[in-house]
A and B are shown apart, each in its own frame.
Chain A
Amino acid sequence: MRLFPFTTDSNVKFVVSAFALLSGGLLLLIIGFLLKESFPAIESIGLLRFFSDPSWNPEIRAADGEFGLLTMIVASVLISGAALTLALPLAIFSALFLEFYAEGLVAFCFARLLEILSGIPSVLLGLWGMVVLAPMLARFQAPGFSLLCAALVLAIMIAPTIAILVTSAVSRAHQSVRVEGESLALSREVQIYHLVLPMSRPGIGIASILGLTRAVGETMVVVMLCGNIAQFPSSIFDPVRPLTASIALEMSYAFGDHRSSLYASGLLLLLCVISLLGLAQIFHSKFKLESST
């Protein structure tokens, strides 16, 4: 018996393509499932009402309730946008620190620290936000659970991942201009500001979009901290309800058209994430173009 049985190319090809098809098929299966489950809502509520109903007051029968998703779409955009705005400077400065200023043991420890931070389970961050951060914010402005609260904790959650991705972009850029930069006796800050940062822009763009995708899709932290009120916020201290929170909050208790409309919001969420990934693809191909010229 041979050590590895799939040695002929045709066998390897079969196994590899079987698993590739399987993973591709899973996505189709999930989309199909969402379509099937949300169809009753789309049929009885109608696509238009998801956008034209003034608010979210779900009922078992479509005619009794209101199923507006606009507040939630706005909330998803605001929370993840705010989280990214908070996380991006942290991530970029961490990456520059790691590539240019940290040395030896400090660099090693900082890199490991980022990896550990990026792996903290979101439920733990959510619990911390619920027990520590929200009561703290409530002392300034009740009720504490708010857009700001969720965005702060989400920023802590996505910053390390973005930092790791930005570090690799920055490091690639640094490697490619190191010799030229040093032979021209450019100072470190000139190298960073005029060479490395402009060159890493596409990489930073991709990192941001991947961070944003994670923020849009994050559920646990958000449902614990955002306050879950479906409204257009008038300040960052107002509670909001993004799409993920809405699904997680109500799915366990929902029935009839209410349940089905939650699947429809899941479908919408998936569309948002797919378009964000599409955007990342555009950045990526732009990056390839730039580096080949």
Chain B
Amino acid sequence: MKVSHFTIVLLLSTLFSSTPNAFATDKRLSLSGSSTLAPLVSELGKRFESSNAGVRVDVQTGGSSRGIADVRRGVVSIGMSSRTLHPEEETDLQIFTLAMDGVAFVVHKDNPVSNLSKQDLLEIFTKKKTRWSDFGGTDDQIVVIDRARGRSEVELITKYLGLTKKELKGDLIAGENQQCVKIITGNPNAIVYLSVGTAAFMVSQGTPLKPLDLEGIPATTKNVALGTFPIVRPLLFITKKDENALRDAFVSFASSEDIHELIKAHAFVPVHN
């Protein structure tokens, strides 16, 4: 058989011109975004798949900004975001609040300190006081862990403490939640700020973390739900404003009463619509 140049060109062009979308059927739902939301949404996806035969739900992380950007470009149907949208992003998108979460200050379980005030945290995170003994702890240096710029936790705690991002002085900067968890686990003198839900979930898995009381208010899911915990944020689904039956089915599935137990099991607070 003689293979003509034309055939090869045709073969190559079909190989490289087809986008991933061309392979996807309309029975496939893809989501991307916040790593805080991903574990919950993956389980939601599995439940949705088992009650809707032939549907596949793909969940990818990559951060809230990626989720929002992916939705706008049409790469995914739903973006997961743990921050509110920037005004530039809001124009063409729809927002659904899936759950509420808080941001807690977290230390190692062996750290004797269990409560810090706003003033204490201000002094720790600006390095005015650098030893745990100043706050009733051991005579060790405090290792302050800051978070990657652009994360919603950074926006929330700078707003709460009344600081600019430039005034935050960390010894380390961590990105993903799991990186913080690993650092705290290995260092009894470290302090980090972290999703209340993630911290509570890790504690329930046996990880040696301790969310600190803030001004005497325990950093628990219950206090986030009651609205007494001072640092809270919404966990969002972001979609386009167009028509998409499968996507809308998943969004209403995720916000139905049946799912509240699952949301609570992930230590987030369900929203009553």
Contacts and interface: CB of A to CB of B under 8 A. Distances in A.
Contacts of A227: 171-173
Nearest to A248: B175
24 contacts: A5-B2, A57-B165, A59-B165, A66-B166, A130-B182, A131-B186, A134-B186, A142-B189, A143-B172, A143-B187, A144-B187, A145-B172, A224-B179, A228-B175, A250-B148, A250-B149, A252-B65, A252-B66, A252-B148, A253-B64, A253-B65, A253-B149, A255-B86, A258-B149
Nearest to B9: A18
Given A134-B186, A254-B150, 10 more contacts: A5-B2, A60-B86, A134-B183, A143-B187, A228-B172, A229-B170, A229-B171, A229-B172, A241-B173, A252-B175
A14 B8 contact: yes
A1 interface: yes
Contacts, number: 104
A253 B186 contact: no
A268 interface: no
B3 A11 contact: yes
Contact of A57 (B166, B175, B179): B166
The bracket for how many chain B residues form the interface is 35 or more
A259 B63 CA distance: 13
Nearest to A131: B186
Contact of A249 (B62, B65, B173, B186): B173
A142 B175 contact: no
A33 interface: no
A135 interface: yes
Contacts of B179: 130, 224
A134 B185 CA distance: 12
A239 interface: yes
B188 to A, nearest CB: 10
A144 B187 CA distance: 9
Interface string A204-228: 0000000000000000000110011
A175 B18 CA distance: 52
Given A130-B186, A142-B141, A228-B173, A254 B65 contact: yes
A198 interface: no
B151 interface: yes
A253 B172 contact: no
B5 interface: yes
A258 B150 contact: yes
Interface string A233-266: 0000001010000001111111110110000000
